[in-house]
Amino acid sequence: MLLNTVDITIIFVFFLISMIIGILVMKKAGSSSEEYFAGGKNMPWWLLGVSMVATTFSTDTPNLVTDIVRNSGVSGNWVWFAFLLTGMVTVFIYAKLWKRSDVLTDIEFYELRYSGKTATFLRGFRAIYLGVFFNILIMGTVSLAAIKIGVVLLGISPETTVIVSGIVVVLYSMLGGLRGILITDFFQFFIAMFGAVAVAVIAVKKVGGLETLMSNEHVISKISIFPDFSNLNVLMAVFVIPLAVQWWAAWYPGAEPGGGGYIAQRMIAAKDEKNAIGATLLFNMTHYALRPWPWIIVALASIIVFPDLQSLQNAFTNIPADKLGHDLAYPAMISFLPHGLLGIVVASLTAAYMSTISTHLNWGSSYIVNDFYNRFINKAASEKQLVRVGRISTLILMIISGLFALYLQNAFQAFKLLLQIGAGTGLIFLLRWFWWRINALSEITAMTVSFLVAVYFELIHTRIGFHALEDWQKFSLSVLITTSAWVAVTLLTKPSDEKTLSKFYTLIKPGGPGWKKFLKINGIKHDDKSETWDLPGSLLSVFLGSVTVYSALFSIGYWLYANYTFAITTTISTIIFSVLLAKNIKRKSFSGR
């Protein structure tokens, strides 16, 4: 065991604070399902934004980044850097729409937007499909990272890690609901960020400084922010497809096109539209510009210290063979920290784990309670009954995801699987707000076809004699097939009924050409100035925001690389575009409703 008494004391204090927060807000959280799952829909932007960042600051994220950097270099991270475009679209176009919907969960949206039995089926099925099965996959991946940290730093078994790490998080999640999670996330984020920077500083010292790190012969080939444009396969896989297709075509937790899952949960929990927009803007700026570099630096340093898997195996002989992977290099680098700081960093990783797991527990439980139990099993359930079922389902989700984690091997495995299953469904989440013809069958088709295509490419394609395809080729074909299928079904089937569509339009006020035919057919006139089609101005904000954040991301990297020409250029670009973005936001004067 690497931890001493000081380290263990620090971790214990962190656990204690988390539990105290849950206990303090327990009574208010249990007063209603809206309080338990949406914080009373009165949360400020800064608390929600930090919570979003803390949730994505998971124990598996630095492991995933380390895996990518060691195998594909820094440029390999474009597979998730590209999701910034999704995030900015959510900020400036969809955040206000989600807040206007006034639903408790994004799954409830289905019966707000669509009509008939298909809408009812879609809501119930997605509640279990996403809230249970997909959610367990995600939490299992996060718990896998905790297992690897436990094995390397504490020398404890995977089973023990799952049990110990899950007890505190499930207790305060059950007690405090979303409000408790948001408050805990706030202080957990700063601990996690401090820990990430501390590990990066120690890692750099371990290899002799930044200059030594960046000039090492094994690292030089890995540091480029952009991929080798002469290597077509790599270029397509990590840069072209992610930026041209993936960000709008794929459903991925935390980066859903148009917002969804726990991101939508936080937008819905905001006190008004301005706070919903501010929260998602803070999240995207912090997530993509501020956080990646400490992880990347540790990953690069690990190449020198642990150049291959055998060196990791030699250093940590207690690692199970099925858990050995390049993602293990991150917790391996943490083992060099001095006592005291080691305790803080382990606490920071625990914070990252708890933040992510608690959010997914509350989010998944909200689907089970609001969109399945209360909708189909007990419509007359009291608020106390709903909260009780929420707490029970939270516990069950934690147990199942912990068991599932024992069977996973690495985080990138799950990342690719989720991308493949969600390929082709993304566009429908963007257009369903703005095109009246989309109906519940459209979404059912997209969900079904994307899953079947993923199964075909992963399990059948090569077994029936076809040559294996690259991941980007499978993804592109999946997008083409799935998108074609749901668009065809949309055009061949009837839209939702006029009453449902009219109610939706009146509530959301999306505007635009996608609703003109519907309004004309049904003789509906809307003259409210708030319904002015503002998409062009919003798209300008998306562009300015994306350039600002990417410039900041590049700027930090080039300063670390001591490439001062590009560092100064990208810093100036960050300043110029952030000013233009601020002016455009002010000119648009987002509603404070």
Q: Are 240 and 247 in contact (CB under 8 A)?
A: no
Inside any domain, residue 304: yes
Selected residue with higher pLDDT from 448 and 261:
448
Question: Which position has the higher pLDDT, 53 or 138?
Answer: 53
Pick the more confident residue, 97 or 133: 97
- Residue 512 domain flag: no
- Domain residues for 13? 1-84+118-244+275-422
Query: Are 327 and 321 spatial neighbours (Cβ–Cβ below 8 Å)?
Result: no
Q: Please determine, for residue 139, whether its predicted confidence score (pLDDT) is greater than 90.
A: no
Task: Please report whether residue 95 resides in a domain.
Answer: no
- Degrees (nearest 5) of the Cα angle 79, 85, 87? 100
Q: Which two tokens stand for residue 388?
A: 């009780």
Task: Report pLDDT for 280.
Answer: 95
pLDDT higher for 175 or 370?
370
pLDDT (mean) for 319-340? 82
Which residue bears the tokens 């299953």? 421
Would 384 be classed as within a structural domain? yes
Is 363:135 a contact under the CB 8 Å cutoff? yes
Residue 123 contacts residue 111 (beta carbons within 8 Å): yes
Residues 75-87 pLDDT 10s:
999 999 999 999 9
Pick from 141, 473, 88: nearest CA to 325: 141
Q: What is the pLDDT of residues 543-558, one digit of tens each?
A: 999 999 999 999 999 9
**C-alpha to C-alpha distance for 151 and 81, rounded to whole angstroms:** 30
Across residues 153-169, what is the average pLDDT?
A: 75
Cα separation of 216 and 301, whole Å?
10
Answer yes or no: are the C-beta atoms of 471 and 416 closer than 8 Å.
yes
Mean per-residue pLDDT, 63-84: 93
For residue 91, tell me if it sits in a domain.
no
Predicted TM-score (pTM) of this structure: 0.87
Percent of the chain with pLDDT over 70: 94
Mean pLDDT across 475-482: 93
Does residue 488 register a pLDDT over 80? yes
Q: Is 270 helix (H, G, I), strand (E, B) or coil?
A: strand
Domain annotation covers residue 561: no
The overall average pLDDT reported for the chain is 87
Examine residue 323 and state whether it is found in any structural domain, yes or no: yes
At 493-519, the pLDDT tens digits run 999 999 999 999 999 988 889 998 898
Q: Which residue has the tokens 């920290």?
A: 337
Name the percent of the chain lying above pLDDT 90.
49
Weakest mean pLDDT among 103-107, 265-269, 290-294, 457-461: 457-461
In a domain, residue 188? The reply is yes
Query: What is the phi/psi pair of residue 497, to 5°?
Result: -70, 160
- Residue 307 is given by DSSP the state -
Residue 357 φ then ψ, to 5°: -65, -45
Q: Rank 250-254, 330-334, 483-487, 582-586 by mean pLDDT and report only the highest.
A: 483-487
Number of domains in the chain: 1
Q: What is the DSSP string of 410-466?
A: -HHHHHHHHHHHHBTTHHHHHHTTT-TT--HHHHHHHHHHHHHHHHIIIIIGGGGTP
Q: How confident is the model at residue 18 (pLDDT cuts 50, 70, 90)?
A: confident
**What are 188's two structure tokens?**
């957990």
CATH code at position 397 = 1.20.1730.10
